[in-house]
Amino acid sequence: MQLSSLVGRLPYPSHRLQRALAVAAIVAQAGIGVTGSIVRVTGSGLGCPTWPQCFPGSMVPVEHPEYATLNQWIEYGNRLLTIAVVIVAALCVLAAWRVYLDHPNRKRLLRLAWVMPAGVVAQAVIGGITVLADLLWWVVALHFLPSTILVWMAVVLLRAFNEGDEPPRPLIPQASRPVLGALVMALAGLIVVGTMVTGAGPHGGDPDVERFDAPIATLATIHAAFLYSFLALLVVLGIQFRRAHADRTLWTRYAAVWAVAVGQGVLGIVQYRLGIPEPLVSLHVLGSMLVIAATAALWCATRDRGPVVSAVPAPKASAVGVS
């Protein structure tokens, strides 16, 4: 395959570069979610009312009596950030592909890397639908949720660059596995209900968009219940880890989840009691991304796939075509 031959001519990425690209993917995927929240709280969601163009006949903002210039550029800036996300995703694929050419057993690494550009394409399509649907609240929620999944997958990709491809060996007791699974499910529920709270809240991306017609106090209570469930499951995991004499790495990841989850909970309470001010909304979105990344890191630390074998090129390796 010609493209494979071209990739094979690239310099072999150092292990430091491999990790740096995965970290950049985490930051980029989380960042696009945070900037999307800035678009929403500033009412700039329809600053560019068409897609993929900003205005009919123009890819960039133009003077318009119905759309403030600042709102146009905030929305346009969020679209431009997508280019950076695309570049990072493409570099992750190239790095993983180049590694795979020297280490053909690293198919899983290559598949994980391809998730990044695939997710960006999906996000672009959903983003376009969001604009065309005039920021309908549940479409906006669907636009946010893939970013949370991509942050998780970027953490898994980072882990893959730092491990081998042996069958996963659990590092936690058998009894802890369903608890860990329930923890992830609680996090998923927390995020989904959070989008519903947002859908019923005052920040819809534009003053005239339709909002979710549900009591925000009730939704916030359900949202909090998921957080308390998440924290309760963390307590159970901690007890099990202690009994199993978990290693230092696992405890470090566990402590990080506690730190960001509690911080996010406090921020959510403050945000709610202050009437959901705009800056705290974006900080809360950032907090959600940190909770996702920390939980994904904990998930990855609970199993071992052996030492990394692709930190350096294979001895006397030659580029191998990808079928």
Residue 317 lies in a domain: no
**HSE (side-chain half, CA atoms, 13 Å) at 223:** 22
Per-residue pLDDT of the chain (323 residues; tens, 9 = 90+): 588 889 989 999 999 999 999 999 999 999 998 988 888 888 777 777 887 788 888 888 888 777 777 888 888 888 888 889 999 999 999 999 999 999 999 999 999 999 999 998 998 888 888 878 877 888 888 888 999 999 999 999 999 999 999 999 999 999 999 999 999 999 999 999 999 988 887 776 666 677 788 888 899 999 999 999 999 999 999 999 999 888 999 999 999 999 999 999 999 999 888 888 888 888 999 999 999 999 999 999 999 999 998 989 888 644 444 43
112's tokens: 């994980």
Residue 116 lies in a domain: yes
CB neighbours (10 Å) of residue 103?
22
Residue 319 lies in a domain: no
Q: Which secondary structure element, helix H or strand E, spans residue 170, and what is its range?
A: strand 169-170
Cα–Cα dist 308/163, whole Å: 4
CA angle 58, 64, 69 (to 5 degrees): 90
Residue 323 lies in a domain: no
Residue 177 lies in a domain: yes
Residues 6+ apart with CB under 8 A from 124: 82
Cα–Cα dist 50/73, whole Å: 14
Q: How many domains does the chain have?
A: 1
Residue 56 lies in a domain: yes
Q: What is the DSSP string of 262-302?
A: HHHHHHHHHHHHTT--HHHHHHHHHHHHHHHHHHHHHHHHT
Residue 312 lies in a domain: no
Residue 313 lies in a domain: no
Containing structural domain, residue 100: 2-304
Output Rg (C-alpha) for the chain, integer angstroms: 22
